[in-house]
Structure formats: structure tokens, C-alpha cells
Amino acid sequence: MSMRYIISFLLCLVTLSSISQNELMQKYDLMPWPKEVADNSQKFIIDRHFTIAVNDIENAKIFKSTTSFLRRLSGRTGVFIQKGFAVDTSEVKNPSLLINFERPGKLEINEDESFELVVTSMQITINAVTDIGVLRALETLLQLSSNTKTEFFFQGAIINDAPRFPWRGLMIDVARHYEPLDVLKRNLDAMALVKLNVFHWHLTDDQGFRVQVNSWPKLHELGSDKQYYTQNEIKELVQYASDLGIRVVPEFDIPGHATSWLVAYPEIASKDTIYEIERYAGIFDPTLDPTNNKTYGILNDVFSEMALLFPDKYFHIGGDENEGKHWDENKEIQAFKKKHDLKTNHELQNYFNIKVLEILKKNNKIMMGWDEIFQPNLPKNVVIHSWRGKESMLKAAKQGYKTVLSKGYYIDLLNSVTDHYNNEPIVESNGLTDEQLKNILGGEAAMWGELVTPLTIDSRIWPRTAAIAERFWSDKNVKDVKNMYKRLQTVSNRLEELGITHIRNRDVILRNISNYQNISSLINLTGICEPLKAYQRNKGGTEYKSYSPFTQFVDACNTDAVDARYFNENVDHYLQHPTEETKTILISLFDKWIQNNAEFIKINNNPMLNEIASLSQNLAEISSILKGQLQQSKFDSANYLYAQELLKELSMPTADTELAIVPGLKKLTSTMSD
């Protein structure tokens, strides 16, 4: 067996084409891009006789992942694969896919996830140190599937792969909006598809306490609107993640962001008042009382209980955005600060953190917290989670703290994927030694939940997070944005196959707001409208409550609107090379938007479309003007002025979206007067 592997490997080497990295990235839609990949110009045909053999089929991760692999492959291709399960190596001669691994992996940081994957026309082999490496390899193999008009096949390749960073995470905030277990499960599936390995579960915040706690049950009873995970569900999710080679790091955000704790137990608050679950978004004042022994009593019980529920070594205590207003208002807390020589609220929070650290240590956990916990006197064995900037991350790493970066990966900002993709964690000339660089464990995409529900959360996470996953896994030199977009499109399709709802739920929203009429005109508008970025949608956090409707046109829109990118690019082409060809592309887009308004008007009988009507109308009008301009190439000052007026309106947010073709429209309009 190992002999056969060596031979096929040698055979491959012989026939390797010498093509460039660029060409490889055109050929293979792999994401994250592997460490080493070579093209052997072969392909493995997928037919009903496909079989898998493994050296240890009793391994539960391997059984589940190979079974799931076969279902996904069969579902994608329609091939009636006769053998529905992988078998032991001894049970089949010449399996199509031969898997070998050395040992079960541990769900710990720095566990070996490396693998070799070789696809020849004769056989596919996976070799890995751990079963987790096998999972990673199976995902890569599924990304190699392709088809002609008559057959499906795996692209031939020789791949050696291993991650750049050991900590590659996605944080999901289930406090602002509760997300049922199935939403989390499908997102874990998607994480595994792009080789993310840490699910950071933001479980408590002002808007909700989402875990059943037996020691202090009012936390979930009063702090959750009855929307919480039972301990059985937590165990189920941790197991589900584990089967995918994903660690689960829970976050209980304290001492701020803690209204839901105080709804349950106001006696540990810093201010004597009546607490209610927060319905708005923002930074609020309710804070645990760091001078009250009962606070630590409750924290001790809750965290000791949670420590058993969450097996991972790391335990996130939040610690962010505590402005200490209620501390300042409380005379006893002021007296306490004086007595203990704590000059600032930061020092008081540090005092608090060190007490919490003792509780976690006792429970054999490593403490992790956001930037703000990084204070002098903090022991070195805590992890600093940077959300405010790379500088603080580098500073912490330099001082010997382990760090994880989320600054630049806040996907709820709804910025373009390009921004996140270009956000290289480790800047040049960072002044760190190689040893200090190792303190940078990796990063996490952060999905804050104020504006998402089960209907929309997938579209806010995916496909962008796949590009972030590549940033964490692949070499820093993998950074061709245009090629990333090409590969991301394929990953996006595969995510749909896996159950992610980012595409299908767009149409669900559009059907509702159109009274279930023909939605093609609305789909076209989502091709050029993007949700407002950088929290402009809910300025000040007071427009949307947690139970406001997230079923609007904007919720069907997404970043990186596809027609908008195409239009803006082609405006640039046209302005550089005003050929008939580039002109034709622009004119056909203008025709589309002119026609679209006519279609839109037919279905415009639902109040939820009111705000869109003027957008659609203005778009049709400016399209008409610019089309005329392109065709006639002569200046008409009345048209120009009217176009300027329309542009002004189109540049304003509409129904919480922005028209992403405005840059191109502006450029074209400005040429009218040239």
C-alpha cells in the first residue's frame, strides 16, 4: 500500500507540467489555497464504482466525514455510487480513494492538520498524521471535482498542505439575536469547508444570556426571553464541532455588556436599579460590581459549571467596552478603589480580571479577553483578542502574550471582501522576533448579531468568510484579489450545496416584499444595491430593536454586488479604451436597468417596496441619459444637469442600501461635459 503510494507519487512527478502559480490558480478553484500544489495533467473519473478505504474506519470522525463526503459527491454529480460507506483497507482492493492517518487528533491548538493529497487517473490517496488532517484533505478533494458535458471527475493534482496559523476562527454573537442550533450547525459545516478550526460562541450580552445554568437558573430563565441553549444542546453542538475538527471557545462577556446577568441577579450590579433585557444595540452602562463578593460567588459557580460543559482549554471573558459609568456613580465602589489604591477604572477592571482569572485557573482554563483586558500586571498566560488594532496586538505579542486578531475581520461592518482579504495580520517591519511572532496565534472573523436573524445571518457570513479563512490558512503571498473573486464564486456555490442559505433566502425575502409576484426585477436591483456599511444602517443603535423586521429589501442585498463590480470595472475599461465592445457592455447594462423599471412597476403593490420605487425610477432615467450619451457622443447640457441631479439622489442611501454603481455612474457622467 505504501509502496503503491510511492509509485503513483513518482509517476505523478514524471508527468508534472511546469505551469506557473497564476495558471494553477486559474485551473483550481481551491480555497484556502494550499501550501504546495502541482498539476499532474491527469484526472480521476467519478462513476458508480467509486470506493473509499481507510486504515481505521472505527474512528468516528472518519466514519462521519467519509460518509458525508460520499453523500455530497453523489448529490453534486447525480452519480449512483454503489458503495455508500467507506470500508477498512483490508476489505477492498484498489479503492478509488485510499486514506491513511497515524492517530486521532486532539482538539487543541497546534494540533497537526497537515495532509498530502494526490489525485492521479488511477487512484486518489490521502495521507495525514491525524484524522483532522484527513478531514481537511477531504474538503480539498471535494473542491477538485469538476465536469464536462458528459462526465464528472476530480482534477489531477499533488497537494501538500498545512495551515499558516493554528487559530482560525469565526465568532458568532447569539446574544443580540438568538440563532437556533441548526443555524450554527450549518455554519460549522461551512467553517469546515474552508478549514476554519475555532468556533467562538459569544453567548451573553446586554440583550441575552443564552445558556442554561443550573447553579444560577434565573440567568437563562429571566435573561433570555426563553431563547437559550439547554446544556444538552451545548453538548450536542460541541460534539458536532468536534466531529468537524473545530474547537468551541465560549464567551461570557463581563463585567460590561452584562445587562442580562443583572436582569436575573440585580444584587451584583454596580447600580441599584431595575434591569430589563436590552432591546437596542450599542454600549450600555449596566456592569457587574467588582467590589461585591457575591459577584465572584456567582461567577465561580457559573464558570465552574460552564468549564465542564465546554471542554476547550480557552475561555473568553469578553471584557470590552466597559466605560465604568456605574462605577463612577457608586460611592462604595469609589471608596473601594481608594482603599485598594486602584487609580482608574481600568485598574479596577484589572483587579476584577485577576479575580476571574483565579476562578478560571482553578477550572484549568486559559483566560482570553478583548483588547481592554490587556493591562500591566496581567499574567502572561492570557490571550489578548485584538479588535481595536494591530498595534495593540503587536504590543501584546512583543510582551509575551498570545494574541488573536479580529480587527479588520468584523464582517458585520458589511465591507467588501477585498478589505478583509487584504488585511494581512502581520504587517511588515513589525519589530518582533521570530519567537514573538509565534505569539500571534491567528485571527477570527467576527459576526456581531445586532442586525441578523436566522433568515439572513448566512448571507452576512458567507461567502466573505471563506476569503478570510484563506488569509488565516494560506501563505501571505496568496493575495491576488481578482483570482480570489473567481475562486470565491465557486466556494459560494459549494456553500449553498452544503446547506448555507445565503443565496436561497435572498429570494425568500424578495418574494415576500413583492406579494409573491415575479421577483426578477428585484433580483436585478440586488445586483447593484449593497447594505449600508459600517453600522450606518442603525446609527446610534436606536432605529432597530432586536425584534424589528429584518425582512426588508436591504436584507436581501449583500456586499460585493455582482453587477455593480462588473459595471464599475467596465466603466474604467471604457474610459481607458472607448471601443465599441466596452460601449456595448455598458449599453446593455443600461438597457437592463431601463427595462427593469418597467418590470418593477408591474409588481409595485406592497408597502415594503415604496422606498425602492424612486431608486428604480431614477436608475432607469440616468441609464437612459447615459445610454443616449454613449450612442450619440454629443454633449447636452440639460441632460447633464438632470443627470447630476439624479446622481445626487442616487448617492443617498435608499431603504438602508447604497447604490454600488454610483462610482461608475459619476465617472461616466463627468465625461459628458468633457
Q: Which residues are catalytic?
A: 321
Q: Which residues of 435-461 are buried (b: 16+ CB within 10 A; e: fewer)?
A: ebeebbbbbbbbbbbbbbbbbbbbbbb
CA distance from start to end of the chain:
72
Nearest approach, Cβ of residue 377 and a copy of itself (Å): 43
DSSP run (H or E) holding 135:
helix 131-143
- Stretch 291-330: interaction string toward a copy of itself, x if CB under 8 A: ----------------------------------------
601 binds a copy of itself (CB under 8 A): no
Q: Which of 344, 605, 631, 673 binds a copy of itself (CB under 8 A)?
A: 605
Using CB under 8 A, count the residues that bind a copy of itself. Answer: 64
Q: CA-CA-CA-CA torsion for 609, 615, 621, 622, nearest 10 degrees?
A: -160
Q: Could you say which of 152, 199, 252, 284 contacts a copy of itself (CB under 8 A)?
A: 152
Query: Considering beta carbons, is residue 77 or 430 the nearer one to a copy of itself?
Result: 77
Instruction: Write down the least CB distance from residue 343 to a copy of itself, Å.
Output: 42
By beta-carbon proximity to a copy of itself, the closer residue of 628 and 653 is 653
Is residue 241 at the binding interface for a copy of itself, with CB under 8 A as the rule? no
Q: Which three cell numbers stand for residue 402?
A: 498570545
Omega within 30 of 0 (cis) for the link into 463: yes
Given the complex with a copy of itself, which of 35 and 64 has the nearer CB atom? 64
Site for a copy of itself in 546-565 (CB under 8 A): 546-552
- 20, 58, 149, 482: residue in contact with a copy of itself (rule CB under 8 A): 149
User: Is residue 599 involved in binding a copy of itself (CB under 8 A)?
Assistant: no
Q: Degrees (nearest 5) of the Cα angle 665, 671, 673?
A: 120
Cβ–Cβ < 8 Å for 44, 154: yes
Beta pairing partners, 130: 103
Least distance in angstroms from the C-beta of 182 to a copy of itself: 4
Interacting positions 626-665 with a copy of itself (CB under 8 A):
none
The cell numbers describing 125, all together, are 490517496
Nearest to 508, CA basis, from 547, 459, 438, 462: 459
**Is 236 or 347 the residue whose CB approaches a copy of itself more closely?**
236
Do 98 and 123 contact (CB within 8 A), yes or no?
Answer: yes
At residue 384, φ and ψ (nearest 5 deg) are: -95, 125
**Which residues make beta-bridge pairs with 170?**
199, 445
**Of residues 85-144, those binding a copy of itself (CB under 8 A):** 85
Min separation Cβ 522 and a copy of itself, Å: 14
- Closest approach of Cβ 615 to a copy of itself, in Å? 16
196 to 235: interface string for a copy of itself, x by CB under 8 A: -----------------------------xx---x-xx--
State how far the Cα of 291 lies from the Cα of 301, in Å rounded to an integer: 17
Shortest distance, position 113 Cβ to a copy of itself, whole Å: 24
Please, which of residues 509-538 interact with a copy of itself by CB under 8 A? 511-513, 515-516
* Interface with a copy of itself in residues 468-497 (CB under 8 A): 489, 493, 496-497
Cβ atoms of 303 and 252 closer than 8 Å: yes
Between 596 and 669, name the residue whose CB sits nearer to a copy of itself: 596
| Crossing angle between the packed helical segments 231-243 and 60-77, to the nearest 10 degrees | 70
Whether the Cβ atoms of residue 224 and residue 174 lie closer than 8 Å to each other: no
Q: Is 430 in the site for a copy of itself (CB under 8 A)?
A: no
Selected range binding a copy of itself among 62-70, 421-429, 630-638, 646-654, rule: CB under 8 A: 62-70
**DSSP of 232-262:** HHHHHHHHHHHHTT-EEEEEE--SSS-HHHH
In the complex, the smallest distance separating the C-beta of residue 201 from a copy of itself, rounded to whole angstroms, is 18
Alpha-carbon span 353 to 646, nearest angstrom: 55
145-149, long-range: CB within 8 Å, 24+ apart, which pairs?
Answer: 145/46, 145/73, 145/76, 145/77, 146/43, 147/77
Please provide the size of the chain in residues.
674
Options 11, 27, 56, 64; binder of a copy of itself; rule CB under 8 A: 64
What is the spatial distance between Cα 550 and Cα 481, in angstroms, rounded to a whole number?
A: 31
SS3 342: coil
Query: Least Å distance between CB 511 and a copy of itself?
Result: 7
Among 11, 426, 432, 608, binds a copy of itself (CB under 8 A): 608
431: left (phi over 0), alpha (psi -120 to 50) or beta: left
Residue of 27, 35, 76, 395 that binds a copy of itself (CB under 8 A): 76
334, 375, 399, 604: residue in contact with a copy of itself (rule CB under 8 A): 604
By C-beta, is 516 or 635 nearer to a copy of itself? 516
56 belongs to the binding site for a copy of itself (CB under 8 A):
no
CA angle centred on 563, ends 463 and 406, rounded to 5°: 30
Residue for grid cell 490517496: 125
Minimum separation from the CB atom of position 279 to a copy of itself (A): 7
* Shortest Å, Cβ 200 to a copy of itself: 23
Residue showing cell 445626487:
648
Give the interface segment with a copy of itself, choosing from 77-85, 409-417, 473-481, 632-640 (CB under 8 A): 77-85
Select the residue interacting with a copy of itself from 103, 380, 504, 577 (CB under 8 A): 504
The total of other beta-carbon atoms located within 10 Å of residue 399's CB is 15
Residues forming contacts to a copy of itself in the complex (CB under 8 A) are: 60, 63-64, 67, 70-71, 74-82, 84-85, 147-152, 180-182, 225-226, 230, 232-233, 236, 279, 455, 489, 493, 496-497, 501, 503-505, 507-508, 511-513, 515-516, 544-552, 604-608, 610
